[in-house]
Chain A
Amino acid sequence: MGEFNKPFDAIVVGAGPSGNACAYMMAKEGLNVLQIERGEYAGSKNVQGAILYADALEKIIPEFRDEAPLERHVIEQRMWMMDDKSHSGMHYRSDDFNEEKPNRYTILRAQFDKWFSSKVKEAGALVLYETTVTELVKDLSGKVIGVRTDRQGSPIMANVVILAEGVNGLVGQRSGLRNEVSPDSVALAVKEMHFLPRETIEARFNLSGNEGVVIEAMGTITKGMTGTGFLYTNEESISVGIGCIVSDFAETNVTPNELLEAFKNHPSIKPLLADSECKEYAAHLIPEGGYKAIPQLTGAGWIVVGDAGQFVNAVHREGSNLAMTTGRIAAETVVSLTRKREEMTAANLAEYEKRLGQSFVMKDLKKYKGIPELLHKNKGNFFGTYPKLISSAMQTWFRVDGIDKISKEKAIFRNFRETRTLWGMMGDAFKMVRAWR
């Protein structure tokens, strides 16, 4: 590999959604950008459900629908509360989602990220694959002035380094820019890709053309741990997975694989996957700590974007859109400073945080700042007791067995009161409302 003599305007570490968004925006504005990715190709190390939220990408590549590898546009959302044999749910399906420019798509990240990376190169950035950044290079004042990699002999210099290195973020953590991630603020998710003919998927999920369905599930499927399961329809495959907070997993002896197998074999899920062929098994960490877990985001010569900055809205299962938006806003900040020929000092780069504060990213994370802790502290009730109570109430109500409806109502209320006490339920409701506001 050659040496780079002239410093770059910016180096981006990582080629996921946040890094690609950032590198693309800066290169498009004429900056001299180097992006470094450890995978053989962009996407080869990346794992997501995955749902793409069009709005965030539209603000970066408005015409993305013409060329990006998209699977299905989502017309139906199913939210399931599950016990061991049942699910009760809320489904929302609308023909309005069959619009000219759909709002959400299912995607396969390995393919999508590869496409996004090709756009970054088209925009003029230099992208190095199969190269792992090992450390940051700082000057005597502590300002970040470049990176070292496992390929180039001498350090590669830049005016600013954008850390889009994902949830594990070794470079930033080892350089002391932010604390190590704590086991109670990340979830471990495992996922499988199940292939089926597209007609089978369309018949099973009541779809036509490129319409898609997503299912998000919670309940006894996580065995009392804080977590959720999901099932997304792709063009010719189904993504199915489940994730729980790492510290919860560490306290049980349930393996992630066993949890996924049990979820796949749940009577509500099993028929949806029947006769499919599994072609990949993946695992990934998801930042779940929310607003309170966000680390320091800027300093002299550096900015953090995407999962490395814990930008995930766990309540709404949004992450890639926050990643792309933080990448875009970081790029806008760097472009503006570069044009004004201003230094990438801590004070100047703080503009990024100011801009983030005005965006949906910080507003949403702030709104739900109390939720992760609330769910985690009360996991027994939210992921066990309530799903079971609701299932049993549904069954009492729908089973016709000669018992009168007044007695059935009484039985349902009695069951709730005896299992979780009136005060307990009111307390949980109050805490949830307060955390939601």
Chain B
Amino acid sequence: MRELRIHITLLTCWSIVAFGQSRQGTIAGTVKDAETRQPVVGANVTLRGSFIGAATDAKGTFRLARIPVGSHAVIVSMLGYQRETVEGVTVVPDEVRTLDISVRPVPLQSEPVIITASRREQSLQEVPVSVATVTARMIAERNNITLDDALRYVPGVNMLADQVNIRGSSGYSRGIGSRVLVLLDGLPYITGDTGEINWETIPMFEVDRLEVVKGAGSALYGSSALGGVINVITRETPSTPELRFRAFSGLYDKPRYLEWDWSSKPRFNSGVVVSYSGRSNSLSYRVSVGRTVDESFRENDTYHRWNFFTKLKYDISSTQSLTIAGNYLDRTHGNYFWWKSLTEATRPAESQVNGLVTSRRGNVSLAYKEFLSDKFFYTLKGIYFGNFWRDDSAGRVNNVSASHLFNIDFQATYDINRYNVLTFGVAMNYDRVSANLFGTHPGAGAAAYAQDEIAVTSGLKVTAGLRFDWQKVSVLKSTAQVNPKLGLVYIPDKETSLRASFGSGFRYPAIGELYIESSTNVSSIVVLPNPDLKVETSFSYEVGVNRSFGQMMSIDLALFSNDFGNLIEPSVRIKSYRPYPSSPVEVTGPVIQFDNVTKARIQGLETVIRVEWWKRFFSTDVGYTYTWPRDLADNTVLKFRPRHIVYTAGTFSWDQFRVLADFRYLSRIERIDENLVRLAPIVHGEQRVAIKLVDIHTSYDLIGLGLPIRAGFNINNLLNYSYVELLGNLGPVRTYFLTLEGMF
């Protein structure tokens, strides 16, 4: 209690002290590759013992302004380079201390910085759960146009069309209700109406990295984090002006079989994104515009997209900053749900031939960050996410939906002492949906969370956290959830890390699941609302080990078990209902209704092995995930889960030339939803095979010729393998891409 009082007193004093500091200086300089002497772009430069930091720009320069006078240590970290610490950097008032820092490349990078697992920066070794990262470089090399494309290469993750599965968590719920939470810069990014992820609104060109946390994460992030959390972290605004662009043009090859060759014209998938960043005193900004047109290899499946993104950062002082970001997508696409039949696998079913979906989606976010001391900082974030869409068929509007979602999150991180780091906060949300399918409904929620990371010994760290959530939707009775987490990391030596964790998750039913009502849906069966739906729950357990063998090899092995309860799925039943609200009589017949139908257990193992065969020359990555997904209600295999997932990548680098080859294998899905096939109906919808895909990505950096441009040539689905991810949806045929990316 006495200690608590001291902390509160110190907190109050720190803010006064922070504002009172006037004796400040600046540290600036460049970061270069020790071997090539080329500037290192995007390196993190931080001041030890504080949260003050910056990233190097296109010229490898950085600037840390308003640093308190005295002696400091500057830390430089970057994926692929050895962490470098410059001790004894003396800062004097109103002067710029210049540093020229060289960083040594390391072939094996095992310590990327992760922020999602504990809501603060940690090295990967310190994280008690399995986490995968996807960097901007990987996204560019693979020419991933949307976020879901990038996730298709992450071990343990697979996509069922637009629904993401982490270690088999999600299955397929017909597009409604995601069991994986996506965050945009730490804030929930799930649509308000159907509770799904809209991948295309993520500004991929502005992504710095993706972090994929595997396992339940509701103890920190609340609803929807049953199976995992994906955090999309956008680039920081740079300290110097830069103009960047990426252009690509793709050509779909002919389908393997003549029966599927429906178009006499070549089909293209092309786009361009231009981004400009600048700085004026304390204000830095980034603006980007993107245009993509995908003619698709399938009929009535074209996509036309405009993307706008802007980010402004105002450094109020050395301890305060305000960031405002905005993102907007305008999209029109063909309403392709499933094929006509396997005989005409590139044509849509008759009912979808003239269908068109137009959508406008956008968000505005605001983040205020303040360091009250070098041990304590807080952030106040808010986001508005608006979604408007409608679908037309032959000029007739079928469905219209508008949803508005507001999220506010206050988080504080307090580095109490060398043994304890406390993270705590509160969050609130409000959403409102208005749609002919779902009706008009408001929803609101509030939460409070706290987590303590305790360094028990120098090698043993325990993390314990708890979150309380309260939610009310429309006129329904409010519900509350309490979700704990416990993590343990033991690092016996520099090359070994052992971890164990437990976490729980939950998901409130989406408004779409509670209130959907239609007598004219695509399957012609009446869909009824079910306001009695209960909250889905999950419990995740994991033990794992990460071991490096010098600079040659690293292995990560995890055993996991996830229990799910009250899983919501659409089911068909015979029921008496009123065909329309004022109907005097009830009729009896088959209806579709979302219901809490099952409980499940998914157990398995995952291993990720990286080998550097030749220093910075040739490396391989292999990820293998085995899952044993069981429906405990009827003791059968869970629907829509592949049992084996293998992702391999080989990278060859020579001078400015680079080749990346990917092979992905997903075993045949053992069980599907037969009723979906029958009632839709999807002709040949049961047809599916194992997925075996080979992609080749080559790039050449023209920097050696004095041009800051990288040219690339990619072939996706090299073997032109024919497969479905989801029932009746043929996967993309072989596609050739030319890409150009530059930065000035």
Q: Do A and B bind each other?
A: no
B interface residues with partner A (beta carbon < 8 Å) = none
A residues whose Cβ falls under 8 Å from a Cβ of B: none
